[in-house]
């Protein structure tokens, strides 16, 4: 199938090769062109605007930072909506506000095309391992058409419901993930303060019933006391999702006190100037608060 791909950041860089490996022809675009170089060398075609990408594609994907970035790529005279074929499908995989996703979907509806929200749960590690899960919001028939392509990205593809509901679910999943990773740092710091070695603490947690995939691949970062050179999700990117959870909680009247606590730990990372790291760096905040360094 002829596919389009907008946004070649940490996630896009790894999703495009999976689509090409499944036999699809991919035309891509990124705001900063240099990020496309490796993918072009692997066979991806380049187009100069999201509009030009859409004109060549049956299904167009995007995965960019936030709703402002999605609007910049999807709407306007050079956006996906200006080039998409009638009956074409646009799937935005970014983690954004459900209402923003619904509003952008309405513009595609006016253009005779279908937009699905398709946020992805996983990290660059899970995408590379072919273990990412994709949630879909929007038209069921379009989902069925896109499903074989989505399965090239990850094996777990689920339609959650109508437009915006996959974004809603992704925020809920990320709330759980954020609290879990930050509580991991809290638990390790507590054990260390009482005299357990960091190695034993991480090992015991990863062997316990509280272990999970996300703790499994972040454990080594805590253990080595140094963060990955390229963060899986840095403090700023992850804090964006905490803000999404806090705002959604306020709008819906559903309390999210643990998201609020996790958000405060991200503020502490900022204050200490360690926010350029993966957000598991919260472990170091707990150590400092407890007088361990
Ligand atoms: N990293 C993860 O573990 C993870 C997991 C699941 C979901 N997500 C979600 O996936 C999305 C992308 O994450 P990522 O890790 O790939 O982030 P990233 O590496 O920071 O890449 C961000 C991408 O967005 C583009 N962008 C930002 N603002 C833009 C604008 N105004 N106009 C056009 N393009 C713009 C960037 O273009 P430039 O290259 O020009 O800056 C880049 O391609 C986010 O919504 C994130 O929450 C991330």
Q: Among 121, 62, 111, which residue's Cα sits nearest to residue 90?
A: 62
Sign of CA dihedral 244, 279, 133, 52: positive
Parse the chain into domains and list their residue ranges: 2-162, 169-289
Closest residue by CA, ligand 1 atom 30? 69
Mutating to test ligand 1, I would choose from 5, 7, 238 the residue with most ligand atoms within 8 A of its C-beta, which is 7
**Cβ of 133 below 6 Å from ligand 1:** no
- Measured in Å, residue 7 CA sits from the centre of ligand 1 at 7
2-162 has which CATH code? 3.40.50.720
* pLDDT for the residue 232: 86
Q: Which distant-in-sequence residues (6+ apart) come within 8 Å of 50 by Cβ?
A: 4, 6, 29, 60, 62, 73, 74, 78, 79, 80, 83
* pLDDT for the residue 202: 96
* pLDDT for the residue 50: 98
Instruction: Say if residues 261 and 281 touch (Cβ distance below 8 Å).
Output: no
Task: Output the CA–CA distances (angstroms, integers) from residue 210 to 87, 124, 257, 265, in the order listed.
Answer: 46, 23, 21, 21
* pLDDT for the residue 224: 84
- Dig out the tokens for 70 from the structure: 């999605």
Q: How do the pLDDT tens digits run along the chain, 293 residues long?
A: 999 999 999 999 999 999 999 999 999 999 999 999 999 999 999 999 999 999 999 999 999 999 999 999 999 999 999 999 999 999 999 999 999 999 999 999 999 999 999 999 988 989 999 999 999 999 999 999 999 999 999 999 999 999 999 999 999 999 999 999 999 999 999 999 999 999 999 999 999 999 999 999 899 899 887 778 888 889 999 999 999 999 999 999 999 999 999 999 999 999 999 999 999 999 999 999 999 97
* pLDDT for the residue 32: 97
**Cβ of 127 below 6 Å from ligand 1:** no
* pLDDT for the residue 229: 80
Closest residue by CA, ligand 1 atom 7? 120
What is the residue whose two structure tokens read 């705001």? 31
Backbone angles phi, psi at 202, to 5 degrees: -65, -45
Q: Which distant-in-sequence residues (6+ apart) come within 8 Å of 249 by Cβ?
A: 255, 256, 259
* pLDDT for the residue 19: 98
* pLDDT for the residue 228: 80
CA gap 230, 213 in Å, rounded: 19
169-289 has which CATH code? 1.10.1040.10
Backbone angles phi, psi at 98, to 5 degrees: -55, -40
Alpha-helical regions (H) of the chain: 12-21, 37-41, 50-55, 67-74, 80-83, 98-110, 124-128, 140-153, 165-193, 198-207, 213-224, 235-252, 257-271, 282-289
Angle at 283 between CA 242 and CA 134, to 5 degrees: 40
Q: Among 48, 29, 35, which residue's Cα sits nearest to residue 9?
A: 35
Sign of CA dihedral 229, 230, 232, 236: positive
Closest residue by CA, ligand 1 atom 5? 123
Instruction: Say if residues 17 and 42 touch (Cβ distance below 8 Å).
Output: yes
What size, in residues, is the chain?
Answer: 293
């Amino acid at each position: 199938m002829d596919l389009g791909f907008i946004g070649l950041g940490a996630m896009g860089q790894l999703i495009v090769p999976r689509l090409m490996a499944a036999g699809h022809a991919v035309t891509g675009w990124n705001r900063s062109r240099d990020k496309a170089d490796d993918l072009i060398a692997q066979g991806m075609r380049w187009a100069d605007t999201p509009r030009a990408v859409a004109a060549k594609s049956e299904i167009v994907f995007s995965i960019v930072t936030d709703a402002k970035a999605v609007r910049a790529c999807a709407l306007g005279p050079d956006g996906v909506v200006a080039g998409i074929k009638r009956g074409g499908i646009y799937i935005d995989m970014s983690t954004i506000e459900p209402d923003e996703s619904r509003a952008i979907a309405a513009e595609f509806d006016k253009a005779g095309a279908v937009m699905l929200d398709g946020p992805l749960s996983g990290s660059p590690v899970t995408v590379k391992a072919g273990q990412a899960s994709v949630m879909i919001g929007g038209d069921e028939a379009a989902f069925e058409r896109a499903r074989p392509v989505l399965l090239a990205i990850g094996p777990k593809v689920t339609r959650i419901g109508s437009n915006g509901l996959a974004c809603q679910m992704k925020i809920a999943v990320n709330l759980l993930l954020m609290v879990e990773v930050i509580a991991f740092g809290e638990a390790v710091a507590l054990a260390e303060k009482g005299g357990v070695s960091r190695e034993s603490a991480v090992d015991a947690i990863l062997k316990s019933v509280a272990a999970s995939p996300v703790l499994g691949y972040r454990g080594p970062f805590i253990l080595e006391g140094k963060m990955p050179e390229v963060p899986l999700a840095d403090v700023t990117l992850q804090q964006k999702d905490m803000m999404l959870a806090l705002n959604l909680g306020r709008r819906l009247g559903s309390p999210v006190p643990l998201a609020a606590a996790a958000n405060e730990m991200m503020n502490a990372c900022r204050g200490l100037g360690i926010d350029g790291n993966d957000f598991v760096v919260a472990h170091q905040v707990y150590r400092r608060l407890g007088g361990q360094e």
